[in-house]
Amino acid sequence: MIIRRFAKSRKDELQRWYEQHGPALVAYACSILGDRGSAEDVLQQVFLKLLKGKIEVPRSAVKPYLFRAVRNTAISLGRQNSRNVAIEDETGGQWFEAPLDLMHWSAKLESAIRELPVEQSEVLTMKIWGEMTFDEIATVLEVPMNTVASRYRYAIARLRELMQPAEVQNEHAK
Amino acid sequence: MNMQNDDEKFENFLRQFQPRAPRHLQIEEQAARREFALGLMAATAAAVIVLAVFIIVGRRSRTSAPDHVQNISTIKSSPEAQPLTLGKANDLLLHAPSISAAIDSLAGESQGMHIQKGMHSALAILAQENFKERIKL
Protein backbone atom coordinates (compact mmCIF):
# COMPACT_ATOMS: atom_id res chain seq x y z
CA MET A 1 0.00 0.00 0.00
CA ILE A 2 2.77 2.41 1.00
CA ILE A 3 4.85 1.34 -2.01
CA ARG A 4 1.90 1.87 -4.31
CA ARG A 5 1.26 5.32 -2.85
CA PHE A 6 4.93 6.27 -3.17
CA ALA A 7 5.09 5.07 -6.78
CA LYS A 8 1.87 6.87 -7.63
CA SER A 9 2.96 10.19 -6.14
CA ARG A 10 6.27 9.96 -8.00
CA LYS A 11 4.47 9.16 -11.23
CA ASP A 12 2.00 12.00 -10.78
CA GLU A 13 4.81 14.44 -10.13
CA LEU A 14 6.68 13.34 -13.24
CA GLN A 15 3.51 13.50 -15.28
CA ARG A 16 2.97 17.07 -14.11
CA TRP A 17 6.52 18.08 -15.02
CA TYR A 18 6.19 16.38 -18.37
CA GLU A 19 3.02 18.27 -19.24
CA GLN A 20 4.39 21.54 -17.91
CA HIS A 21 7.89 21.49 -19.42
CA GLY A 22 7.66 18.74 -22.07
CA PRO A 23 7.01 20.97 -25.11
CA ALA A 24 9.90 23.32 -24.32
CA LEU A 25 12.18 20.41 -23.45
CA VAL A 26 11.49 18.61 -26.70
CA ALA A 27 12.07 21.84 -28.64
CA TYR A 28 15.35 22.22 -26.79
CA ALA A 29 16.37 18.65 -27.63
CA CYS A 30 15.40 19.37 -31.26
CA SER A 31 17.71 22.40 -31.27
CA ILE A 32 20.59 20.16 -30.21
CA LEU A 33 19.84 17.07 -32.29
CA GLY A 34 18.06 18.64 -35.25
CA ASP A 35 15.57 15.76 -35.30
CA ARG A 36 12.16 15.56 -33.67
CA GLY A 37 12.10 11.75 -33.33
CA SER A 38 15.44 11.61 -31.53
CA ALA A 39 14.43 14.57 -29.38
CA GLU A 40 11.34 12.73 -28.19
CA ASP A 41 13.41 9.64 -27.44
CA VAL A 42 15.72 11.78 -25.32
CA LEU A 43 12.79 13.14 -23.37
CA GLN A 44 11.39 9.66 -22.75
CA GLN A 45 14.80 8.46 -21.58
CA VAL A 46 15.19 11.34 -19.14
CA PHE A 47 11.77 10.82 -17.60
CA LEU A 48 12.18 7.05 -17.38
CA LYS A 49 15.44 7.58 -15.52
CA LEU A 50 13.62 9.92 -13.18
CA LEU A 51 10.90 7.34 -12.67
CA LYS A 52 13.41 4.67 -11.80
CA GLY A 53 14.70 7.07 -9.17
CA LYS A 54 18.19 7.18 -10.59
CA ILE A 55 18.13 10.98 -10.55
CA GLU A 56 17.18 13.10 -7.59
CA VAL A 57 15.75 16.42 -8.76
CA PRO A 58 16.39 19.47 -6.57
CA ARG A 59 12.91 20.88 -5.88
CA SER A 60 14.16 24.47 -5.98
CA ALA A 61 15.38 24.21 -9.58
CA VAL A 62 13.29 21.65 -11.42
CA LYS A 63 13.26 23.40 -14.78
CA PRO A 64 17.01 24.06 -15.08
CA TYR A 65 17.64 20.52 -13.90
CA LEU A 66 15.36 19.03 -16.55
CA PHE A 67 16.99 21.10 -19.28
CA ARG A 68 20.40 19.99 -18.05
CA ALA A 69 19.33 16.34 -18.04
CA VAL A 70 17.91 16.67 -21.56
CA ARG A 71 21.11 18.38 -22.73
CA ASN A 72 23.37 15.65 -21.33
CA THR A 73 21.22 12.87 -22.76
CA ALA A 74 20.93 14.61 -26.14
CA ILE A 75 24.68 15.15 -26.36
CA SER A 76 25.26 11.53 -25.45
CA LEU A 77 22.78 10.39 -28.09
CA GLY A 78 24.17 12.88 -30.62
CA ARG A 79 27.57 11.27 -30.29
CA GLN A 80 26.05 7.96 -31.26
CA ASN A 81 24.02 9.27 -34.17
CA SER A 82 25.14 11.73 -36.78
CA ARG A 83 23.84 15.23 -36.19
CA ASN A 84 22.02 17.53 -38.63
CA VAL A 85 20.23 14.67 -40.31
CA ALA A 86 16.63 15.68 -40.33
CA ILE A 87 14.59 12.52 -40.34
CA GLU A 88 10.87 12.82 -40.88
CA ASP A 89 9.18 10.84 -38.16
CA GLU A 90 5.57 9.78 -37.78
CA THR A 91 4.63 13.21 -36.40
CA GLY A 92 5.87 14.85 -39.58
CA GLY A 93 8.89 16.21 -37.77
CA GLN A 94 7.29 19.56 -37.09
CA TRP A 95 8.64 21.37 -34.10
CA PHE A 96 6.09 24.13 -33.68
CA GLU A 97 2.42 24.88 -33.68
CA ALA A 98 1.29 28.32 -34.76
CA PRO A 99 -1.91 30.30 -35.38
CA LEU A 100 -3.37 29.61 -38.78
CA ASP A 101 -2.09 32.88 -40.27
CA LEU A 102 1.48 31.99 -39.25
CA MET A 103 1.40 28.32 -40.17
CA HIS A 104 3.57 28.80 -43.23
CA TRP A 105 6.29 30.30 -41.00
CA SER A 106 6.65 27.20 -38.87
CA ALA A 107 8.79 25.25 -41.32
CA LYS A 108 10.86 28.35 -42.05
CA LEU A 109 11.50 28.95 -38.37
CA GLU A 110 12.43 25.30 -37.89
CA SER A 111 14.97 25.32 -40.72
CA ALA A 112 16.34 28.70 -39.55
CA ILE A 113 16.96 27.27 -36.06
CA ARG A 114 18.73 24.30 -37.66
CA GLU A 115 21.01 26.77 -39.43
CA LEU A 116 22.15 28.32 -36.16
CA PRO A 117 25.20 27.00 -34.32
CA VAL A 118 24.07 24.68 -31.51
CA GLU A 119 25.35 26.97 -28.75
CA GLN A 120 23.14 29.75 -30.12
CA SER A 121 20.06 27.69 -30.90
CA GLU A 122 20.00 26.11 -27.45
CA VAL A 123 20.21 29.51 -25.74
CA LEU A 124 17.46 30.83 -27.99
CA THR A 125 15.19 27.87 -27.26
CA MET A 126 15.70 28.04 -23.51
CA LYS A 127 15.07 31.79 -23.49
CA ILE A 128 12.07 32.03 -25.82
CA TRP A 129 10.22 28.75 -25.31
CA GLY A 130 11.69 27.60 -22.01
CA GLU A 131 11.03 31.09 -20.56
CA MET A 132 14.27 30.90 -18.60
CA THR A 133 16.39 33.76 -17.33
CA PHE A 134 19.97 34.24 -18.52
CA ASP A 135 21.07 33.23 -15.05
CA GLU A 136 19.22 29.90 -15.25
CA ILE A 137 20.55 29.26 -18.75
CA ALA A 138 24.07 29.99 -17.54
CA THR A 139 23.58 27.40 -14.80
CA VAL A 140 22.42 24.79 -17.30
CA LEU A 141 25.28 25.43 -19.72
CA GLU A 142 27.90 26.11 -17.06
CA VAL A 143 29.08 29.26 -18.82
CA PRO A 144 29.15 32.92 -17.65
CA MET A 145 25.90 34.86 -17.93
CA ASN A 146 27.51 37.41 -20.29
CA THR A 147 28.35 34.59 -22.68
CA VAL A 148 24.74 33.48 -22.62
CA ALA A 149 23.47 36.99 -23.30
CA SER A 150 25.94 37.39 -26.14
CA ARG A 151 24.95 34.06 -27.73
CA TYR A 152 21.32 35.05 -27.47
CA ARG A 153 21.86 38.38 -29.23
CA TYR A 154 23.76 36.66 -32.05
CA ALA A 155 21.03 34.04 -32.33
CA ILE A 156 18.25 36.63 -32.60
CA ALA A 157 20.17 38.64 -35.17
CA ARG A 158 20.97 35.58 -37.28
CA LEU A 159 17.44 34.25 -37.07
CA ARG A 160 16.03 37.56 -38.27
CA GLU A 161 18.33 37.41 -41.28
CA LEU A 162 17.41 33.84 -42.05
CA MET A 163 13.69 34.48 -41.79
CA GLN A 164 13.80 37.37 -44.22
CA PRO A 165 13.12 40.28 -41.92
CA ALA A 166 11.03 42.28 -44.32
CA GLU A 167 8.40 39.56 -44.53
CA VAL A 168 8.48 38.93 -40.81
CA GLN A 169 8.16 42.59 -40.06
CA ASN A 170 5.12 42.72 -42.28
CA GLU A 171 3.61 39.68 -40.55
CA HIS A 172 3.91 40.91 -37.02
CA ALA A 173 3.09 44.48 -37.97
CA LYS A 174 -0.38 43.30 -38.95
CA MET B 1 16.90 51.93 -29.17
CA ASN B 2 14.97 51.23 -32.34
CA MET B 3 16.98 48.04 -32.88
CA GLN B 4 16.15 46.90 -29.36
CA ASN B 5 12.51 47.59 -30.01
CA ASP B 6 12.71 45.52 -33.17
CA ASP B 7 14.30 42.68 -31.26
CA GLU B 8 11.49 42.71 -28.76
CA LYS B 9 8.96 42.63 -31.57
CA PHE B 10 10.78 39.76 -33.16
CA GLU B 11 10.86 37.90 -29.82
CA ASN B 12 7.13 38.39 -29.46
CA PHE B 13 6.69 37.13 -32.99
CA LEU B 14 8.69 34.01 -32.12
CA ARG B 15 6.63 33.43 -28.98
CA GLN B 16 3.54 32.99 -31.12
CA PHE B 17 5.01 29.68 -32.22
CA GLN B 18 4.43 27.10 -29.54
CA PRO B 19 6.58 23.96 -29.38
CA ARG B 20 4.49 20.90 -30.14
CA ALA B 21 3.75 18.69 -27.18
CA PRO B 22 5.77 15.47 -27.14
CA ARG B 23 4.07 12.09 -27.46
CA HIS B 24 2.42 10.63 -24.39
CA LEU B 25 4.87 9.70 -21.68
CA GLN B 26 5.14 5.92 -21.60
CA ILE B 27 5.58 5.59 -17.88
CA GLU B 28 2.36 3.69 -17.13
CA GLU B 29 3.92 0.35 -18.01
CA GLN B 30 7.21 1.27 -16.40
CA ALA B 31 5.44 2.39 -13.24
CA ALA B 32 3.53 -0.90 -13.07
CA ARG B 33 6.77 -2.86 -13.52
CA ARG B 34 8.48 -0.81 -10.84
CA GLU B 35 5.54 -1.29 -8.48
CA PHE B 36 5.64 -5.05 -9.06
CA ALA B 37 9.41 -5.17 -8.47
CA LEU B 38 9.09 -3.22 -5.24
CA GLY B 39 6.25 -5.48 -4.10
CA LEU B 40 8.29 -8.57 -4.91
CA MET B 41 11.26 -7.23 -2.98
CA ALA B 42 9.06 -6.44 0.02
CA ALA B 43 7.48 -9.93 -0.08
CA THR B 44 10.92 -11.58 -0.30
CA ALA B 45 12.19 -9.52 2.61
CA ALA B 46 9.14 -10.47 4.67
CA ALA B 47 9.61 -14.17 3.82
CA VAL B 48 13.28 -14.03 4.83
CA ILE B 49 12.37 -12.40 8.14
CA VAL B 50 9.67 -15.01 8.87
CA LEU B 51 12.09 -17.82 8.01
CA ALA B 52 14.77 -16.33 10.25
CA VAL B 53 12.28 -16.06 13.13
CA PHE B 54 11.27 -19.72 12.68
CA ILE B 55 14.89 -20.86 12.69
CA ILE B 56 15.73 -18.84 15.80
CA VAL B 57 12.62 -20.02 17.67
CA GLY B 58 13.32 -23.63 16.60
CA ARG B 59 16.89 -23.47 17.92
CA ARG B 60 15.80 -21.95 21.20
CA SER B 61 13.16 -24.63 21.79
CA ARG B 62 15.76 -27.31 21.02
CA THR B 63 18.25 -25.89 23.51
CA SER B 64 15.57 -25.63 26.23
CA ALA B 65 14.41 -29.28 25.93
CA PRO B 66 13.65 -31.29 29.15
CA ASP B 67 16.53 -32.93 31.06
CA HIS B 68 15.69 -36.54 30.24
CA VAL B 69 15.60 -35.73 26.54
CA GLN B 70 19.04 -34.17 26.80
CA ASN B 71 20.26 -37.32 28.57
CA ILE B 72 19.01 -39.47 25.73
CA SER B 73 20.71 -37.36 23.16
CA THR B 74 24.00 -37.58 24.99
CA ILE B 75 23.68 -41.32 25.23
CA LYS B 76 22.88 -41.56 21.55
CA SER B 77 25.72 -39.39 20.41
CA SER B 78 28.30 -41.02 22.64
CA PRO B 79 31.29 -41.89 20.51
CA GLU B 80 32.33 -44.66 22.85
CA ALA B 81 29.20 -46.69 22.21
CA GLN B 82 29.63 -50.32 23.07
CA PRO B 83 27.67 -53.36 21.92
CA LEU B 84 24.59 -53.85 24.02
CA THR B 85 24.95 -56.55 26.60
CA LEU B 86 22.59 -57.64 29.38
CA GLY B 87 24.86 -56.03 31.95
CA LYS B 88 24.90 -52.75 30.11
CA ALA B 89 21.14 -52.84 29.62
CA ASN B 90 20.68 -53.30 33.38
CA ASP B 91 23.08 -50.47 34.01
CA LEU B 92 21.15 -48.19 31.68
CA LEU B 93 17.85 -49.08 33.34
CA LEU B 94 19.31 -48.22 36.71
CA HIS B 95 20.67 -44.87 35.69
CA ALA B 96 18.02 -43.66 33.22
CA PRO B 97 15.46 -41.11 34.53
CA SER B 98 12.54 -43.20 33.27
CA ILE B 99 11.93 -46.59 31.72
CA SER B 100 10.77 -45.10 28.43
CA ALA B 101 13.94 -43.00 28.21
CA ALA B 102 16.04 -46.08 28.85
CA ILE B 103 14.24 -48.06 26.15
CA ASP B 104 14.66 -45.19 23.74
CA SER B 105 18.37 -45.06 24.44
CA LEU B 106 18.70 -48.83 24.06
CA ALA B 107 16.99 -48.68 20.70
CA GLY B 108 19.25 -45.87 19.65
CA GLU B 109 22.41 -47.65 20.66
CA SER B 110 21.62 -50.91 18.98
CA GLN B 111 21.33 -49.30 15.54
CA GLY B 112 24.24 -49.51 13.20
CA MET B 113 26.59 -50.95 15.75
CA HIS B 114 29.24 -53.46 14.81
CA ILE B 115 29.64 -56.31 17.25
CA GLN B 116 33.07 -57.80 17.56
CA LYS B 117 33.70 -61.40 16.66
CA GLY B 118 32.93 -63.85 19.44
CA MET B 119 30.53 -61.45 21.19
CA HIS B 120 26.74 -61.45 21.01
CA SER B 121 24.28 -58.70 21.75
CA ALA B 122 21.61 -59.23 24.40
CA LEU B 123 18.82 -58.70 21.91
CA ALA B 124 20.28 -61.30 19.55
CA ILE B 125 20.46 -63.89 22.36
CA LEU B 126 16.93 -63.16 23.45
CA ALA B 127 15.72 -63.49 19.90
CA GLN B 128 17.33 -66.90 19.51
CA GLU B 129 15.51 -68.28 22.51
CA ASN B 130 12.17 -69.80 21.79
CA PHE B 131 10.05 -68.77 24.74
CA LYS B 132 6.87 -70.28 23.43
CA GLU B 133 8.40 -73.74 23.34
CA ARG B 134 9.71 -73.34 26.87
CA ILE B 135 6.25 -72.41 28.12
CA LYS B 136 4.79 -75.50 26.42
CA LEU B 137 7.40 -77.71 28.08
What are A107-135's pLDDT values in tens digits? 889 889 999 999 999 999 999 999 999 99
Boundary (domain end) residue, out of B64, B79, B113: B64
Average of per-residue pLDDT across B45-62: 86
Q: Does the beta-carbon distance from B27 to A22 stay under 8 Å?
A: no
Report yes or no: A166 at the B interface, CB cutoff 8 Å.
no
Average pLDDT over residues B6-11: 85
Q: Is residue A91 part of a domain?
A: no
Judge if B54 and B99 occupy the same domain. Answer: no
In a domain, B17, yes or no: no
Co-location of B80 and B128 in the same domain: yes
A141 pLDDT exceeds 60?
A: yes
Is residue B94 packed enough to be buried (19+ CB in 10 Å), middle (13-18) or exposed (0-12)? exposed
Query: Which residues in chain B touch residue A11, judged by CB atoms under 8 angstroms apart?
Result: 27, 31
Query: Which distant-in-sequence residues (6+ apart) come within 8 Å of A15 by Cβ?
Result: B25, B27
- Comparing A165 with A81, which gets the higher pLDDT? A81
Residue A32 lies in a domain: yes
Residue B20 lies in a domain: no
Indicate if B98 and B131 belong to the same structural domain.
yes
In Å, what is the CA distance from B118 to each residue of A30, A32, B83? 99, 98, 12
Domain boundary among A36, A56, A86: A86
Nearest C-alpha of chain A: how many angstroms from B62?
38
Q: Is the pLDDT of residue A64 over 80?
A: yes
Q: Specify the pLDDT at position A88.
A: 47
Residue A74 has pLDDT above 50, yes or no: yes
Residues A43 and A103 in one domain: no
Question: Of A86, A110, A134, which residue sits at a domain end?
Answer: A86
**For residue A89, what pLDDT is reported?**
47
Would A134 be classed as within a structural domain? yes
Most confident range, picked from A63-77, A88-102, A158-172: A63-77
**Does B8 fall in a domain?**
no
Task: Identify which has the larger pLDDT, B127 or A128.
Answer: A128
Q: Does the pLDDT of residue A3 top 50, yes or no?
A: yes
Provide the pLDDT for residue A156: 93
B14 → chain A, closest CA residue: A128
Nearest to A130 by CA among A25, A51, A10: A25
B57 with B96, same domain: the answer is: no
Q: Which residues on neighbouring strands pair with residue A96, listed in sequence order?
A: B19
A9 assigned to some structural domain: yes
In a domain, B5, yes or no: no
Q: How far apart are CA B65 and CA B55, in angstroms?
A: 16
Range of the domain at B60: 29-64
ipTM > 0.85, yes or no: no
Does residue B86 sit in the same domain as residue B132? yes
**In-domain check, residue B102:** yes
Q: Determine, yes or no, domain membership for A125.
A: yes
The partner residue sitting opposite A51, judged by closest CB among B31, B38, B42, is B31
Q: How many domains does the structure of chain A reveal?
A: 2
Measured in angstroms, the CA of B47 and the nearest CA of chain A are apart by: 17
Same domain, B53 and B107: no
User: Which residues lie closer than 8 Å to B99 by C-beta, 6 or more apart?
Assistant: B93
Q: Which residues contact A48 (CB under 8 A, 6 or more apart)?
A: B26, B27, B30
Percent of chain A with pLDDT over 90: 45
Please indicate, yes or no, whether residues B78 and B128 belong to a single structural domain of this protein: yes
What is the mean pLDDT of the segment spanning B38-51?
Answer: 86
Q: Please tell me whether residues A76 and A38 are part of one structural domain.
A: yes
Check whether A23 has a pLDDT greater than 90: yes
Same domain for A82 and A120: no
Domain boundaries, position A56: 1-86
Whether residue A114 is found in the same domain as residue A51? no
Chain-centroid distance of CA A48 in Å reads: 18
Under a CB-based contact definition with an 8 Å cutoff, are residues A78 and B60 in contact?
Answer: no
Residue A59 pLDDT > 70, yes or no?
A: yes
Distance between CA atoms of residues B14 and A159, nearest Å: 10
- Within-domain flag for A77: yes
At residue A86, what are phi and psi to the nearest 5 degrees?
-80, 110
In a domain, A52, yes or no: yes
Residue-level pLDDT at A9: 75
Are B52 and B108 contained in the same domain? no
